[in-house]
Each structure stands twice: as C-alpha cells, then as structure tokens.
Structure 1
Amino acid sequence: AYTNNNFTADPHTAYNYAKGQPVIHPFNRTRVQIGTPLDFLVVSDHAEFLGVIREIHSGDGVDVSEMGWWDGIKAKLAAWYLNNHLDEGTALELFRDILPPPLPVRDAAKSVQLGGDSNLLPDMVDTQVNTWRSLTNISDEYNQPGEFTAFIGWEWSSIPGGANLHRVVMTDANAEQAQQFQPMGLLMSQYPEDLWGWLEETAPKVGANFIAIPHNSNLSKGFMFDDTRLRGTPFNADYIALRMKWEPIAEVTQIKGDSETHQDLSPDDEFADFEEFPFYLQSDYSPYEVKQGDFMRSALKRGLSMGAEFGQNPYQFGVIGSTDAHTGLATAEEDNFWGKMATDSIPENKNTQWEDDEPAPNGWAFSASGLAAVWAQDNTRQSILAAMQRKETYATSGPRIGLRFFAGAGLDALDLADGDLYGKATAAGVPMGGELAGGATSPVFIVLASKDPLDANLDRIQIVKGWLDSNGQQQERVFDVAWAGERSPGPDGKLPAVGDTVDRSSGKNSNTIGAAQLSAHWVDPDYSADQSAFYYARVLQIPTAR
C-alpha cells in the first residue's frame, strides 16, 4: 500500500473512517467519509517487512549500527532504491518488481522469499516489532465493546509462483496478549498447514482465539481449495481437522473480484459471471485459467467428495466479504469508492498499466466490494469471533442487505413475522452455517432478506444446492425461491429479468421495481436422504450502476 503513494493513511485513519468520521484521502487529499459506519474492522497489514518501507522512506532512515557488514550494505542500497522510486512516482513498477515470478507453484512454495527486488529489503527487526506494538495499541485504543469492535489481525501473504494463498488472521486478543508474539508471515513458511500449526501453538500460549480466512481464492491458480496439499501429499484426517479448526470461513467477494463461482464452472447459472478478475499477482504475465480450487461453490462440492472419502469435510466453511482496500479506507459503497490503491482514486489514474503493456489490472477492473456480515450476540471481539467460528456469517458485495437463513424439520409452521423467529427456528433446526443430519423428507428452509435502506430494491432470493449423486458425481442447481413483481419461470425454468431503472447519464436508480423485503418457506423438490448436500442463499438486487 505504501508504495502506491499511501504515505499519510495509518490505522487511525482506517478506524476513524470506519466509525463514520471524515478523513483526508492519502493521495487526492479530498475529505472523504463513509456513508454508513461499520460495526467492526480489522486492520490487517501484511506481516512481511511490517513497517519497514515506511520507516526507510519517512522515518529516521536505516540504522545500520547493529547490522552486519552485508546487511548494512543491503539496507543502504534498499533505502536509496526505495526512496528513488517513491519520490519519483514510479511505485507501480516497484510494486510489480516485488511480486513473485510465475514459477511452478509447488516448487516456488519451498522458498520463503517474495521475489525480485524484495530481496533487497533489510529485516529491520526492531522496526517490525515496534510497528506491531503500535498497531496493537491503536486497535485497543479504538475498541469500544458494545459500540465498535477494533480487531487485531494481519495478513499472511503466501504467494508461491503467483498463486495467491493469502490468509487474513484475526484474533480476539488484546494488545497485551498480541505483543507476546510477532505475526507469522510467508518468510517463515509459505505452507498453510504451517500457519495453522503456528496458530495451534500460539493460541494457548497467549490465551486468545484465532481464525485464518482464505483471501482472494479466485487468484490461487487452483491451490486454495485443492484436492492435495501444497506439498503434493494427500490429505489425511489430521490435516483436515486442523484446517476445519482454523479456517471456518472464507472470503467470497472483495475489490479484486468475486470468488463464489465462474461461468466456466457453473454454465447454467446466469449470474456466474459477476465481477470476474482474470489477473494473477505476479511479476510477469501468464493467462488466467479457471480452476475448481479457486472458487467457493466448486470447493463446497469438492468438500462433499472428500467427506465421503475421509469421513471429514475440509471445505465445510461459511463466507464473508471484505474490501482488501490498500488505502486505509474500507470503501465498499458503490457510489463512494476510493480505489483499491491510493493512486487509482481519481479517474485519470485508473487506466495506468505496466510499462510493457502486458494484460494487467487497472483501476477500472477493481470492484467496490465487500462487507462481512456476522450474527453475533454482542459487538465485542469475543462474540464476533465466536460467530465466525460457528459460521453464522454471510457476505455482501457492499449493500447492507439483511439476511436470515434457517433449516430444519417442521419450520413450515413458523410465522416469519414472529419476534422470536430466531429462537424458535434454532430450537427446531439450525441457522446459517449449521449442519443437519438427513431425514426421510426434505428439511424446511426459511429465508428472509431485506434491502439496504439506502440502496436498491431486491430482485430475488435464490437457494444454491450442491450434492453428490448416486454415482458420487458432483452436481449443482440454483433455485429461485422468492422474487419481486408478477413474474413466473419460463419453460426453461428461468425467471424473467426484473427490469432495469438505471439512468445511463447519471447512474442513478429510480427504484420503481423490486421489493424492499422478500421471504420464503422452501423445500427441496429433488431431496434424497442418502445424498450429501449443501445449501446456501443468494440475494440479488435489481440492476445498479457500477
């Protein structure tokens, strides 16, 4: 982030923006303010070289007095090189040079380095320790239980051969607990199971809970939700149990695209092409290839197959959204989006490409997305993290859509307007993220959705089902279960489009179509008690301007 002219935003900026306070944009210097404040935020800087680039450029320079001869030379060279790029405004090239080359992924994972010019960076251990201490103290400063939750966390940035395997690590620890460790980064290991092992060891030592959230799986070259380990060895019960423990949820939408599914994997899903991002994070170009292991829906289906094989399902996870903004500003609002990087916050900078004009993302490729929605009992670190651990979460691409989803026997008798619907539905069944044993007949699903009061109306609610058929083959189907307007499915089973009220000259939406709320009781017409299956709800707005 810092290498893209993000010189002034810091955790104070991030928390103040999230809480609804006006702040100054780090690049264009305008006054910016979130439309609807957030309830919680994790400021998750990359663990690798934490604070080092900022210190080299804007701090007191590099203290080489306690470094060896070679480290001192490296540090001075890095300082000159970084400062030259940052001061000359050529940071995009610098950022690209730090990315790894597109090498074979399993071979590249054996190395604990990024790539290219990152090897020039000095460790500056004291800077990293002091930066972590500052980040955790600031988080505690802004944490207000019951009003606003400021989480401590970081990003583990494994990206072997350009395969994005990043995880955002969150903890309910306070600053005193978090300062007992330095966050694990890829320079310790590029293997996810080593991160889980580190969490397994660290959590009891500091007396805190942690989760690791797979992040941007759509750019993982198929390795995020693979059917073998990154080391090339088969899954086993211990590996699956460790993954299930530490990764209960996954990110499904963010600025760098949507990770639910892809039209190549779900050709019968008319909405499977939402916010595609066909670019890898690497120093040299290679064409994007759609892989099963990149996307949530195919991962859930793969998990059913692995559950049948191993008796445990490693991909039985819930979902959230996040922004991944590198501006310090959690901007998921479509009409209030301030760029992925600080420099692409203005239209004239959004067309910036690599120097060699190879296909690469620019500012127009990025999406104003997303948000994490959590059904927690209290707005505290412990309560929110516990809800994530039980998977009672969902993702939105930015709008504050309210969603409830329950399943169980006999739920058809429940009144959807009952003030104690949650208590009665969970007494008879399970909420989102729950697991049901198969019965003789289909469970009843209850789904309720309400629009963002400040955003567009709703088009429809869908339930997506994945299952293993009698031959053990993975299948999927999308059901329309509630919709706005006087529409009926056609001969092909598809619901006609809701319409479009977007004014092309202004981007405004008249909101004269759609519904403010939708709900349904639903049973699976194809239910089979002897088939493993998953179900999740998807809520669509009426068309809006991007």
Structure 2
Amino acid sequence: MSARILFVTTAMAGVAASVAGVATAAEPAREPAPAERRAFFGELHLHTALSLDAWTYGTKLLPEDAYRFGRGDTVMVPATQVAREQGADGKKEVAAKRAWPLDFMAVTDHSELVGTMLALDDPKSDFANSEAGKRILADPPLAQRMYIVARRGRGEVPPQMKDPARIRDAWERTVRAANDFYAPGKFTTFIGYEWSALPDGKNLHRNVIFNSTSAPLPFDATQSQRPEDLWTYIESVRARGMDVIAIPHNGNASGGLMFDWNMSDGRPIDQAYAMRRASIEPLTEIAQIKGQSETVPMLSPNDEFANFEVLDRLLGPAGVKSAPPGSYIRDAFGRGLVIQSGVGANPFKYGVIGSSDIHNALSASDEAASAGGQFGIDPQTMLPRGEFAKKALGQPTTPQKLSASALALPEVAADPKRAEEAQRLSNVERSSAGLAGVWANENTRESIFAALKRKETFATSGTRVRVRMFGGWDFERELMKRKDWVAQAYAHGVPMGADMPAKPAGERAPKLLVQATKDPEGANLDRIQVIKVWLEGGSYKERIFDVAVSDGRKIDAEQRTTPLTSTVDLSTGEYRNSIGAAVLETVWEDPTFDPKQPVVYYARVLEIPTPRWSTLLAVKNQLPLSKDVPAIIQERAWSSPIWFTP
C-alpha cells in the first residue's frame, strides 16, 4: 500500500465542516445561500447480486449490504463470494470496511432480468432443480451468454430467468433498501437502476436516478435498445410527479454511438432531439472501473495527459476495438457546438461525474482498494494472493482457456486468440473506481438531486480532490484573496454547469475562478488546467492551458509548464508528498478569446505521480510489475463545463 500523509489545511476544514441549523416554530427555516454549498462525494453506479452478470461472477451481497458498506459499516462478505472473486480459501466470511464513508449513493442493478438469478441460491427452487439451472450452477457465466444470445434473437433464456414475480420482488427490494438507508444530513440514498442497451456490443447504458420515495418498474433494454424510448418512459414518470434523470455510462466502449451525430434511426440530430436529450440527461460519466472517457491520444494528440486509463475495447470477450470518435466527452463537447450552430440546441451539454460500476456491492475508490476486474475490496482483508494475484495482473501461470459456452459466440469462435488476449487483459486494464462530486447546500435527496440537475458537479478518478469553477466577466484579479470570494463569485458570475451571461460591452474576455483542494489523505496537487473547446469554421478545436501550478514553476508564453519529477519508489509502492501543493487556485483570463466563437471551458486537476493499483498489488505479492499498463499514474479531477454562446 502506498504511503499516506494525513494533514488538513484550514481551507479543507472550512469546506468539510458541517453546521446544522434548527428551525423553530417562530422562526422559519432560512434558505441556505449558494455560498454555503459544500462538496459531497458519492456513487451513482453500483451492482449487487440482483444484477445477472454480478451473480455470475460470484457476488452474493445485496442492496442492503451495499448501503451499509457505502456509509462506512463493516460488512461480512460471504465465503463463496470472496472465493470466486478474490481467491480466498472459501471456508469463512470476510470482514470488509470502506476506508472512509460516502455522502450519497445509489444502487443501480441492471434492470434486465433483475433478481431472477437469486433463485439458484435456493437448492429447493424450481430453477435450481431444472435442467437449465443445473447447467448454470455448473458454469455460472453460461447465464450471461444465454442472455446475450437471446437478445440477438437466436434463442430464449429459461423461463425462470424472466419470471415477472421475481423481477417485481427484486425491484421492491431495491426501492425499500434505498428508503431504509436514507438518513438526511448524514447519508443520502437514491432509488436507481441501469438500463443496459448494448446494440452490437456497443455500450449505450444509462443509470436512471429517481428523486422520490417510490418508482415504477424499470423500463429495460429487452423492451427497447433505443435511448429515445427510455426517455419516453422518463417523461411518463415525470408526468406522475416524480423527478428522474438518466446518466449515460462511460462512453469509451460505445463504438462511437454514445455521442453520435445521428439519432437512433440514423437521421441527423434535430432541435427536438437535442432539447429532449439535454433535459433528461444533464450529466455523463467520465471515469469508472472501465477506464475514462474524457479523451484519448488519437482525438487529442497535443494533450500529454490524454493517455490515462485508456480502455478502448467494446464490452465482451472478443476484444473488438471501440471507435474513439463519438465515444469521448471532449469530442462530444465539440460536436455539441457544431450541432447547436445548425439546429439551435446542444444535445451534449453535459456536466460530469465519476462512479464505480463495481459489480460486487463494495463501492471502494482508493487505488489500494482495487485489484482489477469488476470488484471493490478491503485491501486489509480481501487482497488477492497467489494465482488470483497473477491473474489480476495478466500473469497467469497456466493459459486461460475459453469455456465452451464462450466459444459458442460467433465473434469469439471467429477469433479465439484475440478473445483469449482480451480475457487476459480484462482485469489489469480495469481502473480503480471513480467518484461523483457535487456542490450542494446539504446532504439530502432534494439538495443533492438539485445539484445534479444544475450540473454543479465534478468527477474524480477515485481521489477526494475537491474542485470548483466559476465564470464571469468582471472578476477582480485578487478576488480569491477575499474571505467572501465564493459569495462574490456566485453574485457576479456562474458556477460550473452553467452558461456565461452575455458579454458586457468593454469586457475583453471571460475570467474563470478555479480552486482545487487535495485529498486530505492522498497526494498533493501538480497543476490545474483549463481545457478549451471552441467552434471555428464549421468544426471545433481544442487547447489546453496550465493555469495554476505547484513548486514555483513558471507558466510560459504558450500557457504550459514543466513536468514534476516522480517520487514513486516502484520497489516499495510508496511515494513522498515532498512535491506538489495542498491547494491551488487562480483567476484566469482566456488570452485567445474571440467573442464570435462559441466556447466550452472545463478544468482538469492533476495530482503528483503515484503508484497504480496494479503496482501496489504486484509489490504486495512480490510479482513483476505488469508490462501491459503504466506503473505510475496521475490521479485527477474534472469540473463540469461552463459554456459561452455569442
């Protein structure tokens, strides 16, 4: 485990402090001022044994367990789960506890056939005693392949896998758990699920999050794989008085479909579609265990930090590459400007969050709490050893053979070598979990959901870096030295997730206030960057500006600085916080601004170099470092954008 240095600056303590106000009958509750908003960290993408795929991996924990773990309780993980997923001896349950509690959370099990696999855990059930049930119990991944084949119209799943009574019971359990664990002011929970469309293996999943105490049965991808049909369901739910949003899954595995130029029917995006999508989908994921979807070197060749946690394959065992254009959010920001110039509305006007997409109910985001694959772990009790550690690092001692049910899939049978290589890399290429950050007045459903809808959000790659950004025209250069700078920023500008007001006469360029505060138990900060995407000549361009840097480095005429030297010791998996800064902040004015050009700005914050989870796991097991992934990474955070439209 990497070295940790614990210290909290005055600025951190001020941001983290919570003061509860009590209203009396004679004194109505005061509406909190925007300047009183605090940063909360959460998880809006997590699976339990109710998800078909999670059950096939060996997961036995359920939504109640997930919420207990998320709020910081110790959870006892069943022996069969840790045996299948982490290679434990399988004889006794294992205690697991999160390193620090989340503030808010939603369990989002796949809605397709939700909960039906639990019947196989009962040896007396009709499913367990059926011929299909016996085959699945002998080879659990077979259940998922049955479902894939059925979705392609080439077969049917066993009737027990689509039992409507079991699906209804599972959904009622999901709703009940979210309500039972909601503790306003301490731990906020949301009812949610994942709509899991996967046309031709291209990921179009959305997490559906309700701001309500009840919710109708999910609309799932067996009913339709068109996002527009999911939106119709969401509109019908809103018409019943329940607020609900959809959050697209990490787009990197979408094969270019997530942020396509066209609608599902192949026609170019029109104004009605753009407005509808922007209303229903205010946010998108930018980081989770399946990599990041900010950008990649192919799309951003001048971004030296673009080669971060790249997972560029479609989901599934065949290892088919995913097309980058249309799969990454920076590209989508540019496409949105182009579409808006033509139809008058922007379909990709997204704020950003991170989450986990962990499939064993244990939402853990620290680098040491990952060991590849789909799982979160307690590194003190669940760290893989021996053969399981080698497998996690892509270093099996014996070749990994594809099962007969996998070879039955045409794309696997057509290229089994590529499928075997994809299977080998499927663990080590996975990232540690991301986090969703919001700036909200209080830790309640209403307040956090409002922050999600107005896009006053940020994402991290798992670290608790806090970042906020404001845009305005007349911010003073020394504004951030004032104690009331946040109140002044709200009063004279807009927070991230919003549109810049119209340019006043006499003002030269927009000014951005950006502040980042380090993880109190993590690495120091290297720099803050502003990413600019703008419309020019019918297309879009991008540029990166270093705007605040640590260690006395200079920012040159090209608005860039020099790299820091890594302190990571690869032999021990430790690093030193002898470089970097605890807090970085700046008032930055765009030196390239053209008032005739629509622009998107967002901030990216980089930590100093630290060891990747795969390095920590290799060191713990005295194994060679993986050659398939970087040994060192720079964890990061991203703000939601601010838009300027002439």
Q: Is the pair's TM-score, using the shorter chain for normalization, greater than 0.5?
A: yes
Number of matched pairs: 513
Counterpart AA for 1:441: R
Shift of 1:331: 1.4
Alpha-carbon distance between aligned partners in 1 of 2:251 and 2:156, rounded to the nearest angstrom: 23
2:530 alignment partner, one of 446, 463, 469: 463
Shift of 1:242: 1.1
Please say which of residues 484-493 and 503-512 is displaced more in the overlay. Answer: 484-493
Shift of 1:278: 2.2
Counterpart residue number, 1:68: none
Counterpart residue number, 2:475: 411
Shift of 1:139: 1.1
Shift of 1:192: 0.3
Q: Structure 1, residues 45-73: CA drift from partner, whole Å, max 9, x if none?
A: 00000101122343752379xxxxxxxxx
Counterpart residue number, 2:132: 78
1:61–1:79 Cα contact (<8 Å) kept: no
1:63–1:454: structure 2 CA closer, same or farther, 3 Å change rule? closer
The reply on whether 1:380 has 2:414 as its aligned counterpart is no
1:56 alignment partner, one of 117, 120, 143: 120
Shift of 1:22: 1.7
Shift of 1:98: 4.3
The reply on whether 1:200 has 2:266 as its aligned counterpart is no
2:365–2:462 Cα contact (<8 Å) kept: yes
Q: Structure 1, residues 165-221: CA drift from partner, whole Å, max 9, x if none?
A: 0001101111xx22xx2111101110001101110012222x211110000210000
Alpha-carbon distance between aligned partners in 1 of 2:181 and 2:261, rounded to the nearest angstrom: 41
1:203–1:150: structure 2 CA closer, same or farther, 3 Å change rule? same
Alpha-carbon distance between aligned partners in 2 of 1:414 and 1:443, rounded to the nearest angstrom: 16
Counterpart residue number, 1:482: 548
Q: Which has the higher contact order (CA 8 A, sep 6+)?
A: 2
1:21 alignment partner, one of 65, 73, 76: 73
Q: Does the residue aligned with 2:476 lie in a helix, a strand or coil?
A: helix
2:250 alignment partner, one of 195, 216, 219: 216
Please give the TM-score of this superposition, normalised by the length of structure 2. 0.76
The reply on whether 1:449 has 2:483 as its aligned counterpart is no
Shift of 1:494: 3.8
1:445–1:522 Cα contact (<8 Å) kept: yes
2:564–2:608 Cα contact (<8 Å) kept: yes
1:77–1:120 Cα contact (<8 Å) kept: no
Counterpart residue number, 2:484: 420
Counterpart residue number, 1:103: none
2:582 alignment partner, one of 484, 491, 516: 516
Counterpart residue number, 1:309: 342
Q: Structure 1, residues 373-406: CA drift from partner, whole Å, max 9, x if none?
A: 0111121112111111111001000110011100
Alpha-carbon distance between aligned partners in 1 of 2:153 and 2:544, rounded to the nearest angstrom: 42
1:445–1:523 Cα contact (<8 Å) kept: yes
Shift of 1:413: 5.1
Counterpart residue number, 1:266: 300
Shift of 1:448: 0.5
Counterpart residue number, 1:119: 157
Please give the TM-score of this superposition, normalised by the length of structure 1. 0.89
2:353 alignment partner, one of 320, 324, 343: 320
Alpha-carbon distance between aligned partners in 2 of 1:311 and 1:521, rounded to the nearest angstrom: 31
2:313–2:322 Cα contact (<8 Å) kept: no
1:96–1:282 Cα contact (<8 Å) kept: no
Counterpart residue number, 1:109: none
The runs of 5 or more residues in structure 2 that have no matched partner are: 1-52, 83-87, 378-382, 403-415, 613-646
Q: Does the residue aligned with 1:526 lie in a helix, a strand or coil?
A: coil
The runs of 5 or more residues in structure 1 that have no matched partner are: 65-74, 101-111
2:188–2:443 Cα contact (<8 Å) kept: yes
Counterpart AA for 2:516: A
Shift of 1:99: 4.1
Shift of 1:319: 0.1
Shift of 1:24: 2.9
The reply on whether 1:535 has 2:535 as its aligned counterpart is no
1:99–1:505: structure 2 CA closer, same or farther, 3 Å change rule? farther
Counterpart AA for 1:50: V
The reply on whether 1:236 has 2:290 as its aligned counterpart is no
Shift of 1:119: 3.2
Counterpart residue number, 2:367: 334
Counterpart AA for 2:299: L
2:567 alignment partner, one of 477, 490, 501: 501
Counterpart residue number, 1:105: none
Counterpart residue number, 2:176: 137
Alpha-carbon distance between aligned partners in 1 of 2:374 and 2:176, rounded to the nearest angstrom: 25
- Identity, in percent, stands at 36
1:401–1:450 Cα contact (<8 Å) kept: yes
RMSD: 2.3
Counterpart residue number, 1:104: none
1:9–1:271: structure 2 CA closer, same or farther, 3 Å change rule? same
Q: Does the residue aligned with 2:308 lie in a helix, a strand or coil?
A: coil
Q: Does the residue aligned with 1:375 lie in a helix, a strand or coil?
A: strand
Q: Does the residue aligned with 1:406 lie in a helix, a strand or coil?
A: strand
The reply on whether 1:187 has 2:222 as its aligned counterpart is yes
Counterpart AA for 1:142: F
1:409–1:429 Cα contact (<8 Å) kept: yes
